[in-house]
Amino acid sequence: MSHDAAAEGLPCAPLLTASERSELLRLARTSIGAALGLAEPPELLLQTANLLEPCGAFVTLQVDGALRGCIGAFQPEVERSLHETIVRTARAAAFEDPRFPPLTSVEWHRIHIEISRLSRPRRSTAAQIVVGMHGVHVARGPARALLLPQVASRYAWSAERLLREVCRKAGLAADAWQESETEISVFTAEVFGAEPPIDALVVDTRLSRA
């Protein structure tokens, strides 16, 4: 699944090619594997403008269809290119998401990896949100949170439900989005993923029987 951010007036670099997507997914998987001692440290093998440019991105991990970690960078990190952000956030999603225990070696063979490459955000009103196209970020003082575009589609939420949920995630009252002190921003995402390699699944099956 992918969304054309430029078409929605949210500036972003050109969409990634199939090779660039594959490279980012490989880097995400090897970053986690290297931390577990199961893979060599990640090394960029495809140098393109898209991969070398700073860009906001999130890495989402699932095991057997269940969320196992999701960490990212909302804004482009000036000192980090996109591929460096993916390496860092993949490792953080696996081991630093406070909602989950650290990923195990057995789970590494089974993770589905999803990458969301974000457009630059812009300020918005509730009425301008397009469910399924826009992710939403809210901020009020030190409280802030976001939900990626695919979340509302996955749960068939309305725009109001999306705003209520992102406010709750930020630790605000569910109706805080209606107050002028709460800043609402929207963004789009180019979303793509990869299933576990077939050979890894075979190895994992043998391990589970031991």
Given this model, what pLDDT does residue 206 score? Answer: 34
Residue 4, domain member (yes or no): no
Same domain, 129 and 36: no
For 99-108, b where at least 16 C-beta lie within 10 A, e where not — what string? ebeebeeebb
Q: What is the CATH number of the domain that holds 103?
A: 3.30.700.20
In terms of Cα–Cα distance, which of 189, 146, 128 is closest to 5?
Answer: 189
Give the domain extent around 130: 121-187
Extract the residue ranges of the chain whose pLDDT is less than 50: 1-11, 200-210
- Order of strands across the sheet that contains 135-140: 122-123, 183-187, 135-140, 143-147
Same domain, 111 and 127: no
Same domain, 104 and 183: no
pLDDT digits (tens, 9 = 90+) for 116-161: 999 999 999 999 999 999 999 999 999 999 999 999 999 999 999 9
Given this model, what pLDDT does residue 78 score? Answer: 77
Same domain, 207 and 172: no
Residue 3, domain member (yes or no): no
Q: Measured between alpha carbons, how far apart are the two ends of the chain, in Å? A: 37
**Burial (CB count <10 Å: 0-12, 13-18, 19+), residue 8:** middle
Given this model, what pLDDT does residue 13 score? Answer: 62
Q: What amino acid occupies position 25?
A: L
Range list of H helices, the chain: 18-35, 49-52, 82-95, 105-108, 149-155, 159-169, 198-209
pLDDT digits (tens, 9 = 90+) for 100-110: 999 999 999 99
Residue 5, domain member (yes or no): no
CA distances from 109 to 26, 30, 114, 124, 202 (A): 13, 11, 15, 40, 9
Same domain, 115 and 129: no
The token duo for 38 is 């199961």
Residue 206, domain member (yes or no): yes
Given this model, what pLDDT does residue 12 score? Answer: 55
Same domain, 109 and 36: yes
What gap in Å lies between CA 142 and CA 188, rounded to an integer? 23
* pTM across the whole model: 0.85
Q: What is the CATH number of the domain that holds 144?
A: 3.30.1490.150
Q: How many domains does the chain have?
A: 2
In terms of Cα–Cα distance, which of 61, 112, 116, 110 is closest to 90?
Answer: 61
What gap in Å lies between CA 185 and CA 180, rounded to an integer? 13
